[in-house]
Chain A
Amino acid sequence: DAGVTQSPTHLIKTRGQHVTLRCSPISGHKSVSWYQQVLGQGPQFIFQYYEKEERGRGNFPDRFSARQFPNYSSELNVNALLLGDSALYLCASSLIQDGTRDGYTFGSGTRLTVV
């Protein structure tokens, strides 16, 4: 069975540009969460989506947005990129909204570099 898949694996963007990152959860998983991992730090929670609705939001500016599609895949959008947005963006899926019970499964991430 396929795990959590993220695309692209790497990309380079220029300051001020916009970026879209994509995530496909494990088949049957209805919850998708996004995390940002800056080099040398632990991941930080950005969003959780469950049944296509935003269920949680971390402390990130409005430049960050996301959505979940009917097939439960998700996109993370970042506008007006800053150098500080350079990070590994991780997607995690879970069967239900409370992923702590059955566990979150993480993808391998998208490495975003802003120059």
Chain B
Amino acid sequence: AQSVTQLGSHVSVSEGALVLLRCNYSSSVPPYLFWYVQYPNQGLQLLLKYTSAATLVKGINGFEAEFKKSETSFHLTKPSAHMSDAAEYFCAVSNTGRRALTFGSGTRLQVQP
């Protein structure tokens, strides 16, 4: 079964610093991978997705992620953190048959002024 592992349940950065959120996947077939963001008391918003086209994927709000097959990773980055980036971030992989998403346990991003 496909799965994702998010390393670090909490990440704290200073405003203006690089954001790096880690995600590793486990899949026997080329996966579709996603990053979602969840603000307090809200649903999930899609940041970006990898669907086997370009390995470097650009998303909304200045985020991007790189698919690295050799490392089975799909880390999320943003060059300069903003206070408004504080939220919970989830990595997800589509399951076989592509009828559902399997989510990681999430990483809470704090941005310090």
Contacts and interface: CB of A to CB of B under 8 A. Distances in A.
A107 B98 contact: no
Contact of B99 (A43, A48, A106, A107): A48
A56 B99 contact: yes
Interface of A: 4, 33, 35, 40-45, 48, 55-56, 58, 90, 92, 97-101, 103-109
B94 interface: yes
Contact of A45 (B34, B43, B102): B102
B101 interface: yes
Contacts of B77: none
B99 A55 contact: yes
B30 to A, nearest CB: 12
Contact of A56 (B43, B45, B97, B105): B97
B100 A108 contact: no
B54 to A, nearest CB: 16
B9 to A, nearest CB: 8
Contacts of A104: 46, 101
9 contacts: A41-B105, A43-B103, A45-B95, A97-B99, A98-B99, A104-B46, A106-B43, A106-B44, A106-B45
Interface centre among B41, B99, B106 (most CB of A within 10 A): B99
A88 to B, nearest CB: 8
9 closest residue pairs by CB, A with B: A42-B103, A56-B99, A45-B100, A106-B43, A100-B94, A106-B44, A108-B43, A98-B98, A100-B32
B90 interface: yes
Contacts of B95: 45
Contacts of B41: 108
Interface centre among A42, A98, A105, A108 (most CB of B within 10 A): A42
Nearest to B32: A100
A33 B97 CA distance: 14
